[in-house]
């Protein structure tokens, strides 16, 4: 809702306008978003509450009752914006703040945003829009079997390029998304897109590649994670054996029976699980024998340390031996040189990822890689 006593005519023509009984204009912005323009700024709270009270009752349609909720973000001219575009940005931020409080809420930009970090809120609303408008992108890094020098799959890595802020690296916006409760939505977006893509590649090239998806511990720990995962698998019609889930070692540290059961259920679906960034946790290896995981991904820092000579190599060799003793496969991350590759081969590591083979690639670039490697 925008309180904009001036010219409703300034409203961009692309939107259809309707006028209500009080003579106020409203527009459908997109999907389920509407803008209501109120002339009288003294009536903001009353109007917002009136609208919310309408949504507390069911709607009747063909003998059925439907319940719906509404969230409203309010901006006021001229304090929160001197033109429609600015007012919409402010209203959007306020809307986001209202949505976080879940269901039938409104928030006024001025009041609710006070004391909040504007930059953080701007990022939050931009990220929220990036999900909604599908402007996030997945890149894929090849995973190679070094025993056969064959491409076996890829890791999906998220990219976000905001038109104003530019490229924002995932290790910056993922923790941010975790803080502001957007991570599960992002995680589901990544799963859905990665699974659609692996289907396309496997069908087009008649191959059986596996895509690895990073799942944040916050998303993973959600009560309905498995149900949601199952529904995405059904929706995308992917064979679960073509999906691998990467969970960081850190998120396995404080394990309990609940987490163990969850991992078991995921395995029962036929999905592979690997422990990401292995070696960066607190060296508590207890969880490894409890968790029915399939693979360890040795963190890049260990691969880099192999250059230090014997002790660096000994560490990597010890991790590989430990993994094999537990019947786990090993993936070395961040392999950049032939020298590193040779050492890993000599110590019976199975898989590698790294710039030596390829950086993460866009979908189009990756398609060319498949052709190069497999055909
Ligand atoms: P990660 O899961 O450990 O991913 C590996 C990171 O190492 C990627 O960085 C990759 O581009 C980079 N890398 C791969 N090979 C090499 C190499 O040879 N040398 C060097 N220097 N770097 C290499 P990226 O894509 O910037 O991702 C950073 C982190 O962001 C990821 O670390 C992961 O923790 C997180 N992330 C990325 N995408 C997602 C996602 O979809 N969901 C979640 N929850 N986290 C994600
Ligand atoms: Ca990873
Ligand atoms: Ca990693």
The CATH number of whichever domain residue 91 belongs to comes to 3.30.70.270
142 in ligand 1 pocket by Cβ < 6 Å?
no
Give pLDDT, residue 71.
87
Residues 207 and 141 in one domain: yes
| Closest residue by CA, ligand 1 atom 2 | 214
Q: Rg of the chain's alpha carbons, rounded to an integer?
A: 25
Give pLDDT, residue 284.
61
Give pLDDT, residue 38.
87
Residues 214 and 309 in one domain: yes
Of 136, 157, 172, 307, which is best to mutate to test ligand 1, by the most ligand atoms within 8 angstroms of its C-beta?
157
User: How high is the mean pLDDT in each 10-residue block of the chain (375 residues)?
Assistant: 50 62 79 83 85 82 74 87 83 79 77 55 83 92 96 97 89 86 93 98 97 95 94 98 94 79 95 93 73 94 91 95 95 97 98 98 97 83
- How many domains are contained in the chain? 2
Give the β-pairing of 150-162 and 136-145: antiparallel
| Nearest ligand to the CA atom of 249 | 3
SS3 309: coil
- Phi, then psi, of 157 in degrees rounded to 5: -125, 130
Q: Which residue has the tokens 């399939």?
A: 294
332 in ligand 1 pocket by Cβ < 6 Å?
no
Residues 321 and 283 in one domain: yes
| Closest residue by CA, ligand 1 atom 27 | 170
184 in ligand 1 pocket by Cβ < 6 Å?
no
* Residues forming beta bridges with residue 107, ordered by sequence position: 73
Asked whether residue 207 is domain-assigned, the answer is yes
Q: What is the pTM of this model?
A: 0.75
Q: Which residue has the tokens 């004391």?
A: 115
355 in ligand 1 pocket by Cβ < 6 Å?
yes
Residues 97 and 139 in one domain: no
Residues 289 and 348 in one domain: yes
Asked whether residue 50 is domain-assigned, the answer is yes
Query: Residues in the chain, how many?
Result: 375
Question: How far is ligand 2, taken at its centre, from the CA of residue 297, in Å?
Answer: 8
| Closest residue by CA, ligand 1 atom 12 | 334
| Nearest ligand to the CA atom of 171 | 1
| Closest residue by CA, ligand 1 atom 10 | 360
Give pLDDT, residue 80.
85
Boundaries of domain holding 331: 129-374
Asked whether residue 350 is domain-assigned, the answer is yes
Give pLDDT, residue 3.
53
**Minimal CA–CA distance to 108: which of 78, 80, 85?**
80
Residues 52 and 8 in one domain: yes
């Amino acid at each position: 809702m925008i309180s904009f006593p001036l010219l409703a005519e300034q409203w961009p023509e692309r939107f259809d306008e309707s006028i209500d009984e009080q003579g106020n204009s409203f527009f459908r912005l997109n999907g389920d978003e509407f803008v209501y323009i109120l002339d009288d700024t003294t009536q903001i709270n009353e109007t917002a509450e009136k609208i919310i009270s309408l949504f507390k009752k069911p709607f009747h349609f063909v003998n059925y009752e439907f319940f719906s909720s509404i969230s409203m973000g309010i901006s006021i001219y001229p304090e929160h914006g001197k033109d429609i575009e600015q007012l919409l940005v402010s209203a959007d931020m306020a809307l986001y703040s209202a949505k976080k409080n879940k269901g039938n809420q409104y928030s006024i930009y001025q009041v609710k945003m006070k004391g909040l970090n504007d930059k953080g809120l701007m990022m939050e609303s931009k990220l929220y829009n990036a999900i909604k408008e599908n402007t996030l992108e997945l890149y894929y890094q090849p995973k190679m079997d070094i025993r056969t020098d064959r491409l076996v799959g890829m890791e999906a890595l998220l990219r976000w390029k905001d038109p104003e802020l530019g490229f924002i690296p995932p290790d910056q916006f993922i923790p941010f998304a975790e803080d502001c409760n957007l991570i599960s939505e992002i995680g589901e977006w990544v799963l859905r897109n990665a699974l659609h893509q692996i289907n396309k590649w496997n069908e087009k090239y008649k191959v059986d590649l596996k895509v690895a998806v990073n799942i944040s511990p916050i998303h993973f720990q959600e009560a309905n994670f498995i149900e949601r995962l199952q529904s995405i698998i059904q929706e995308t019609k992917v064979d679960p054996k073509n999906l691998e889930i990467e969970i960081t070692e850190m998120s396995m540290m404080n394990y309990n029976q609940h987490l163990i059961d969850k991992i078991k259920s995921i395995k029962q679906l036929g999905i592979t699980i690997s422990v990401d960034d292995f070696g960066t946790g607190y060296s508590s290896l207890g969880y490894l024998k409890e968790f029915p995981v399939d693979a360890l991904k040795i963190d890049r820092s260990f691969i880099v340390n192999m250059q230090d000579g014997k002790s660096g190599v000994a560490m990597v060799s010890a991790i590989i031996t430990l993994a094999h003793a537990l019947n786990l496969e090993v993936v070395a991350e961040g392999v950049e040189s032939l020298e590193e590759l040779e050492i890993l081969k000599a110590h019976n590591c199975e898989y590698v990822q790294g710039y030596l083979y390829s950086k993460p690639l866009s979908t189009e670039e990756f398609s060319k890689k498949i052709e190069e490697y497999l055909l």
